[in-house]
């Protein structure tokens, strides 16, 4: 059974700092991996999608990497801003799970002005 | 391009009642998935519908059911509500799993 772990569970940083969020998964037979952010009480906003054949994806200040063989992904946020404060979730889609995403518990990020 | 629309945004129901939640996917997306989010269990997959057929199902009791209409809109029904069903229910639509999933804003269900 696929298990997804995100470390740290919570992170508080001063504005302007670069930071890394970690995601690990137990079964490397994944189809793709998607990073989301969730604001309190709201739905999920997709940030980046990485296919299993890719090593990284970039969007603005965000960069996500994937090491499928070691079961790890990282989300790098450059020059953090207070508006980045949210919970960040990674979700893996296994090759054989059809449409079922398996989520980590998330990292709650607070960026202090 | 309109996103995924979920209605209603908030619901308060009494234990034992039933409830129906609605999800309208992005135009052209034929896959609709449902998830339950609680503080204790996180995000858990309920089921997925594709072209009006349930294609995938999570480990939830039979009180949780769904359907999809010919226009790809989907409904989720929970019968005989329990206090533990209080959660944020999210739906996601997709053109194809290769392109990832887009989530709606969710329906917050409170069972009292």
Q: Do B97 and A34 touch (CB under 8 A)?
A: no
pLDDT at residue A40, as a whole number: 92
Residues A64 and A85: their CA atoms lie apart, in Å, by 18
Compute the nearest-CA separation of B95 from chain A (Å): 11
Indicate whether A27 pLDDT > 90. Answer: yes
- The candidate with the shortest Cα–Cα distance to B64, out of B40, A1, B49, A61, is B49
Percent of chain A with pLDDT over 70: 100
> Got the DSSP string for A33-95?
EEEEEE-TTS-EEEEEEEETT-SEEEETTEEEEEETTTTEEEEEE-S--GGG-EEEEEEEEET
CA distance A18 to A61: 10
pLDDT > 70? residue B1: no
**And the tokens for A1?**
């059974």
> For testing the chain A interface, which of B100, B102, B110 should be mutated: the one with the most A CBs within 10 Å?
B100
Instruction: Tell me how close the Cα of A43 comes to any Cα of chain B, in angstroms.
Output: 4
Mean pLDDT, chain A, integer: 96
Instruction: Give the model confidence (pLDDT) of B22-36 as tens digits.
Output: 999 999 999 999 999
Instruction: Tell me the per-residue pLDDT of A42-56, one tens digit each, with 9 for 90 and over.
Output: 999 999 999 999 999
Q: Does B79 touch chain A (CB under 8 A)?
A: no
Spatial separation of the C-alpha atoms in residues A87 and A110, rounded to whole Å: 9
Residues ≥6 apart with Cβ < 8 Å to A22: A6, A7, A8, A72, A73, A74, A107
Mean pLDDT for all residues in chain B = 96
A89 pLDDT higher than 90: yes
Closest partner CB to B45 (pick from A41, A49, A100): A100
> How many residue pairs from chains A and B have C-beta atoms closer than 8 A?
63
Alpha-carbon gap, residue A22 to A10, rounded angstroms: 11
């Amino acid at each position: 059974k696929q298990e997804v772990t995100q470390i740290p569970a919570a992170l508080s940083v001063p504005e302007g700092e670069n930071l890394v969020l970690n995601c690990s998964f137990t079964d490397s037979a994944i189809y793709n991996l998607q990073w989301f952010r969730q604001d309190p009480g709201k739905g999920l906003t997709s940030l980046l999608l990485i296919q299993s054949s890719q090593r990284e994806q970039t969007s603005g200040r965000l960069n996500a990497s994937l090491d499928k063989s070691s079961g790890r992904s990282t989300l790098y946020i450059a020059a953090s801003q207070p508006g980045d404060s949210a919970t960040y979730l990674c979700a893996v889609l296994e090759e054989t799970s059809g449409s079922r995403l398996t989520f980590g518990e998330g990292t709650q990020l607070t960026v202090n002005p | 391009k309109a996103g995924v629309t979920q209605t209603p945004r908030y619901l308060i129901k009494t234990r034992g009642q039933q409830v129906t939640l609605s999800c309208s996917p992005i135009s052209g997306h034929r896959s609709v998935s449902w998830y339950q989010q609680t503080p204790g269990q996180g995000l858990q997959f309920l089921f997925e519908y594709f072209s009006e057929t349930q294609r995938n199902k999570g480990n939830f009791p039979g009180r949780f059911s769904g359907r999809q209409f010919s226009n790809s809109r989907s409904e989720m029904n929970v019968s005989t509500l329990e206090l533990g069903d209080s959660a944020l229910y999210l739906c996601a639509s997709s053109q194809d799993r290769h392109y990832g999933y887009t989530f709606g804003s969710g329906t917050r269900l409170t069972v009292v």
